[in-house]
Structure 1
Amino acid sequence: MSQNVYVPKQGNNDSHASGNHEQHSDWNAPIWNDDEEHSQTKNRVEMIYERSKNVIPVGKQSRSFPWYEQIIDPSDRHLKEDIIRLIVQYLQEEDYLYSAAALQDEANVKHKDVLAQQAHLQRVKTAILEGDWAEVEKLCSQATFKNLKSFLYEVYKQQYLELVDRQEYQKAFVLLQKRLKSLEGYAQRLEEFHDLCYLLTCKSVNEAKSFRDWNGTMAGREALVEQFQRLLDFEVTDTSAPVQVPPSRLVQLLQQAVAYQIEFSRYHPKAAPRIKTLLEDYHCFVLPNREKQCFVGHQSNVKCVQFVGESGAHLVSGSSDNTLILWDTESGEKVASFIGHTSRIWDIDVTRGGFIASASGDGTVRIWDAKSDIRSSCRTVISGHTRDVYTVSYHPRENHLVTGGYDKSLRLVDVRTGQTIKTFTGHEASISKAVFNPHGNLIISGSKDSTIKFWDVISGVCVKTLSSHLGEVTAVETNASGSLLLSSSKDNSNRLWDIRMARPTRRFKGHQNTSKNFIRVGFGTNEELVVGGSEDGFVYIWDTETGNLVQKLGPCVGPIYAAQWCNRQSLLASCGHDGMVRTWWFDPSTPLTDDDKTHEMKECF
């Protein structure tokens, strides 16, 4: 259930950095100075509604082949050459002629080295077929092959078999002693070397069990050449003319990649979208308007929820019943329970690979493996805090954690050993939330002392403090580039900060956050929206650019503690006091706003 909540006067700009100015009357002034700016703001919200209606839900499609990542081997030499040719062609088509020429020259040098290696290997094969074993040994000494000794054993074995076949036993015995004996360990079977010795008493090579299928000198040499290529794990490059590169081939491949992403997304656009960047995956703009799934299984209120891994195919939630539950995002079924904490779960964070860190009121942080066959077992227990741990966050490289809690301190922890590397102190009250910036060189913490602090990871020094909040800070989160910071506080407002300028640029209002709860806030679809919980039981969604409230989802029974958006799934997840986890999506059959409902009623009459 959704409600149309667009009220332009609620979108305000934060323009003061000190808490003393928070009560200034400008906070209640409109965000526009004239009718033109008012119109622009209204048009912005209307544009959001229209963009959201311009999609068709098709459901989450699963890939029909699980091995899609194995299709292309990035180390394959032929594919590398193709990639270089594609880049050269693109540079030429875009008139970067000098760059194209420089790249082509460098690629030609490498190509000449490959051709030289091929010529050398061809001489080895020719010498084998001609039985010039001295030349074969000489050529092998001039190059280091991956399996050189294995190959030399096969060479000496072929030479030995030919000597036996010609009944030159004295020469065969010398070769056996001087060459083959030292390479005995490279024989394919244990009994093979014994059969080589046995052949000195035989009149025919085929009398030995290991060589009954030996078909003579030339057949043996041809088999050795084939085995030679397998041992080197080498393919002969096609000596025919190179395939013509189709015009604009690189752009065509990029178009196919984006089309693939659109095809497997939950929503399909009604019109062809304009792709503005290739540095990020395509995600359709979505404004949720309806509950999709309700996840039932916890025995108490749910404090936190996160999508797991890069795909978001699973959700994990932490509850005051002391447990975490792993859910299937699509079906809503419980996949696993994580049991081990002795008090409520306050916060969780996940890695791209599926490891889950949970912070608890029992003073510990535990790490779990969501992909393990034994999911209920804890991988690591991290201690050090004296009371409740309210927050846990992974470093961007996922090799460290930052934890914080009731004891007013932050701890930087090595994930592998579980040991505390550094402790940060300076807050005057409990720390409710701490995160790393995307570069990983700063820790940003929000506290019940109503401040946000920035800490240098290396030195442990607090390098900046923001104190504009009138109430306790309950959440902090940065955008992907690290230029903006979202914060929530117990003065019924969320703020967007310009980190470089250290000042708030936007204020998001309408929700309730004044009691003892930790109400979290975060970025929504493509960071164009802000999503957050509220004590009135609704999920709130604001426009990042204007600060206007564009959607309310609910109501639920009791406060909504957190809302989490997943671009890959195009879903919003929320958790709250009623013990439920919910996902929200856009359903075109459900009115997006109250205006839509009114319009439908008029049409009925």
Structure 2
Amino acid sequence: MHSSYVRPTEDIFNADDPRIKEDIIGIVMQYLADEGYHASQAVLYDETNVKWKEREERSIEIKRLKKSILDGDWQEVEKLCTKPVVKNHRSFLYSIYKQQYLEYIERREIQKAFTFLNKRLKPLEHLQTKPNEFKDLCYLLTAKSIHEAPSFRNWEGIMGARENLVDQLQSMLDFETADRNGNRYIPPDRLLTLLRQAVAYQIEFSRYHPKVAPAVNSLLENYTSFVIPNAARRTLTGHRRNVKCVEFIGEEGRELVSGSSDNTLRIWGTETGECHAILEGHHSRIWDVSTTAQGGSLASASGDGTVKIWNLKDTLPLCATTLTGHSGDVYSTRYHPNESHIVTGGYDKTVRLFDITTGATVKTFSGHQLAVTKTIFNPLGNLVVSGSKDNTIKFWDIVSGLCIRTISSHLGEVTSVEMNSSGTYLLSSSKDNSNRLWDVRMVRPIQKLKGHQNTSKNFIRATFADNNLIVGGSEDGVVYIWDQDTGEVLQKLRGHNGVVYEAAWNAKQGMLASCSDDQTVKMWYYDEKVGITKKKKTTTCLALIIYTALFLSPVIDAVGHLKQKLYT
């Protein structure tokens, strides 16, 4: 993993900058036009404060002007030249008049040419394209051929010159359009180029750099390598009591935070394993943590009945807000997708929605019969999902505050709930010794994940990871990784010396973090050497079996022959 690189954060460019907004709209319009979505492009064009009627009239006038030039209908050209399209482009008017004059000369209409020269071209003499051009125009009144004048030695003839005049008009309009848009030239396929660069960036800076560039078939999620962690990368020590929760900070995950029964939070660097900060302020154990997408803010839920909001943008993180309202331990906290609200759950059996700015309780959801152990939002942010010690999972409408659905299939306390990024699956952990995967739309269990232990007083939690993996803790001190589709245990990560409370996966870092009763946080990753060692062992064992079979085959044959003799 690269030690330092530019992160795709908002400080790279200001999305509210009018110029940036114009660039984005221009790129999107270019893509729509390239793909043939002309009606959509027209609508977008209109919504960017360009009136359809004006644009349509302008387009019609340009087509008429081009046709009139090619047909030599100079009376119509004269009329259209009074329109705004070319009215202020005097150099183009000069070119039109020059063409008319040359056609008079070509047809030997000398008197008309002389009158036209004095009336139309003389006032625009200063716009001549060559130093002696107007002088040569005058000379043509007495010349036998247009080609005799040095400035018109390469004249293409009437039709050729008309076509060149139409091309000049189009170039002028193109330049005018670019100038009106701030002189912005949009290179071809700009949107696709930027998207390819973004995907290449993700692949280049992924932890497990592929030897062959993969084909990406979706742009809805960032590229991640498919790996199953198999080895401990670092063990983070410093907490003085068990570590209840762990989470990577923000989507980038260059740091992670852990909460402990020693009443503190610790922030660690994922690459170095160094403790960057110790956050003190709670008066009881930390049960849960949550961070914003950019990692600028952190929320911690504690046994002291409060939730603290920490500002991580400063060099020394400080508690910005303390949210109160629960009576007893607060077991869970989670940021709303808009990051202006937080949902919490606690010992007092309630789920609370807080406004972070004011610190006030916006809504209280009541209905659970026992303590609420975990609270989350669905991806859209219109529902709250809560798990409780009363063995149920409840879905709450965030606007009305009503419980719209209850799942009561678990036979033990529900210790955690999580939802996948699309909001189609719900994962629940329970003290009935199972993690269950639910189809949210059908409200039915589709997979039961077993193998771990979750039966005692601990809060054992599980969550989703990339590529249809599920990771979670266990009372036997092992981190479990399951296949979401089959329910099969794919990996058991051993190393902790106590209960593993939960595990967190970060796709950007390609790492797994787990926290335990042994007062440590462990970081897990994929180590190629471990895979090679296992392969070598397997190869050695296979060779031994083959060798043994070959060595013993004569003996086996002899014994078989002896048995046959004895029985006969």
TM-score normalised to structure 1 length: 0.64
Matched, 1:537 2:537: no
Q: Does 2:367 correspond to 1:367? A: no
Q: Which residue of 344, 347, 350 corresponds with 1:406?
A: 347
- Once the 2 structures are TM-superposed, how far is the Cα of residue 90 of structure 1 from its aligned partner? 3.1
**Could you say which residue in structure 1 is the equivalent of 2:492?**
552
Matched, 1:508 2:441: no
Q: Does 1:358 align with 2:300?
A: yes
**Which aligned pairs between 1:133-532 and structure 2 lie closer than 5 A?**
247-352=188-293, 353-375=295-317, 377-526=318-467, 528-532=468-472
What letter corresponds to residue 379 of structure 1 in structure 2? A
Structure 2 distance, partners of 1:550, 1:237, is: 57
Give the secondary-structure state (helix, strand or coil) at the position aligned to 1:589: helix
Tell me if structure 2 keeps the 8 A contact 1:591–1:597.
no
Q: 1:550 to 1:247 in 2, by over 3 A?
A: same
Q: Distance in 2 between matches of 1:109 and 1:408?
A: 56
CA contact (8 A) 1:304 1:561 kept: yes
**Counterpart selection for 1:578 from 512, 518, 522:** 518
Once the two structures are superposed, residues 196-224 of structure 1 have per-residue CA deviations (whole angstroms, 9 ceiling, x without a partner) of xxxxxxxxxxxxxxxxxxxxxxxxxxxxx
Offset at 1:83? 4.6
Residues 383-436 of structure 1: per-residue CA shift (max 9 Å, x gap)? 222211111111111222222111211122221222222222211111111111
> Aligned with 1:463: secondary structure?
strand
**Rg comparison, structure with higher value:** 2
Superposed CA deviations along residues 56-115 of structure 1, whole A, max 9, x for unmatched, are: xxx24421x5798555565666665655554444334433344446556777948999xx
CA contact (8 A) 1:61 1:264 kept: no
Secondary structure of the corresponding residue to residue 369 of structure 2: coil
Per the TM alignment, residue 441 of structure 1 is displaced from its structure 2 partner at its CA by: 1.6
**Partner Cα separation in structure 1 for residue 452 and residue 276 of structure 2:** 33
- Per-residue displacement from partner, 1:535-592 (whole Å, max 9, x unpaired)? 1111100111221111111131011100001111111110001011011111111128
Q: CA deviation at 1:241?
A: 13
What whole-Å deviation, never above 9, does each CA across 1:510-554 have from its counterpart, x for those lacking one? 11111111000000124x100000111111001112211111111
The Cα of 1:338 is off from its aligned counterpart by: 1.0
Compute the displacement of 1:272 (Å): 2.4
Change (3 A) 1:73 1:439: closer
Alignment of 1:587-602 (within 5 A): 587-591=527-531, 597-599=537-539, 602=542
Query: Aligned in 2, Cα 1:511/1:93: closer, same or farther, shift over 3 Å?
Result: same
Match of 2:76 in 1: none
SS in 2 for 1:251: helix
**For structure 2, which runs of at least 5 residues remain unmatched after alignment?**
56-83, 89-176, 548-568
| Equivalent-residue separation in structure 1 for 2:46 and 2:29 (angstroms) | 11
- 1:437 maps to amino acid: N
Distance 1:240 1:470 in 2: 65
Query: SS of the counterpart of 1:552?
Result: strand
Moved more, 243-252 or 440-449: 243-252
- Give the whole-Å Cα distance in 2 for the aligned partners of 1:461 and 1:68: 37
> Does the 8 Å CA contact 2:277/2:316 hold for their aligned counterparts?
no
3-state SS, counterpart of residue 313 of structure 2: coil
Q: Find 2:31's aligned residue among 70, 90, 104.
A: 90
Following the alignment from structure 1 to structure 2, what is the Cα–Cα distance between the partners of residues 471 and 241? 65
- Tell me if the contact between 2:308 and 2:322 (Cα under 8 Å) persists in the aligned partners: yes
Report the 3-state secondary structure (helix = DSSP H, G, I; strand = E; otherwise coil) of the residue aligned with 2:460.
coil
Map Cα deviations across residues 7-36 of structure 1 (whole Å, 9 max, x no partner): xxxxxxxxxxxxxxxxxxxxxxxxxxxxxx
**Higher mean displacement: 415-424 or 80-89:** 80-89
Deviation at 1:239, TM superposition (A): 8.9
Q: CA RMSD in A?
A: 3.2
Contact 2:386 2:393 in 1 (8 A): yes
1:60–1:413 Cα change, 3 Å? same
SS of alignment partner, residue 450 of structure 1: coil
Map residues 9-158 of structure 1 onto 2, 5 A cutoff: 59-63=1-5, 74=15, 83-84=24-25, 86-100=27-41, 109=50
What is the distance in 1 between the residues matched to 2:530 and 2:320?
44
**Cα offset for 1:238?**
5.5
Query: CA deviation digits over 1:280-304, x for unaligned, max 9?
Result: 2222222111111111110011000
Which shows bigger deviation, 388-397 or 530-539?
388-397
Distance 1:423 1:83 in 2: 41
> Is the alpha carbon distance of 1:238 and 1:246 closer, same or farther for their aligned partners in structure 2, counting shifts above 3 Å?
closer
- Whether contact under 8 Å (2:470, 2:482) holds in the other structure is yes
The separation in 2 between residues aligned to 1:404 and 1:420, in whole angstroms, is: 12
1:381 Cα deviation after fit: 2.0
Q: Which runs of 5+ in 1 are unaligned?
A: 1-58, 114-118, 124-235
| CA–CA separation in structure 1 for the residues paired with 2:239 and 2:9 | 36
Could you say what secondary structure the match of 2:209 adopts?
A: strand
Task: Tell me by how many angstroms 1:237 deviates.
Answer: 7.3
**TM-score normalised to structure 2 length:** 0.68
Q: C-alpha deviations, 1:145-190, integer Å up to 9, x for none?
A: xxxxxxxxxxxxxxxxxxxxxxxxxxxxxxxxxxxxxxxxxxxxxx
Residue identity over aligned pairs, in percent, reads: 55
Q: Which amino acid aligns with 2:229?
A: P
Q: Distance in 2 between matches of 1:592 and 1:452?
A: 44
- Aligned equivalent of 2:66: none
Q: 551-560 or 586-595, which moves further after superposition?
A: 586-595
- 1:307–1:316 CA contact under 8 A, matched in 2: yes
Whether the 8 Å contact between 1:473 and 1:490 is mirrored in structure 2 is yes
Secondary structure of 1:590's aligned partner: helix
The 3-state SS of whatever aligns with 2:191 is helix
| Separation of aligned partners in 2, 1:464 and 1:66 | 41
Q: 3-state DSSP class of the match of 2:199?
A: helix
Between 1:93-102 and 1:536-545, the stretch displaced more is 93-102
CA distance in 2, matches of 1:108, 1:283: 40
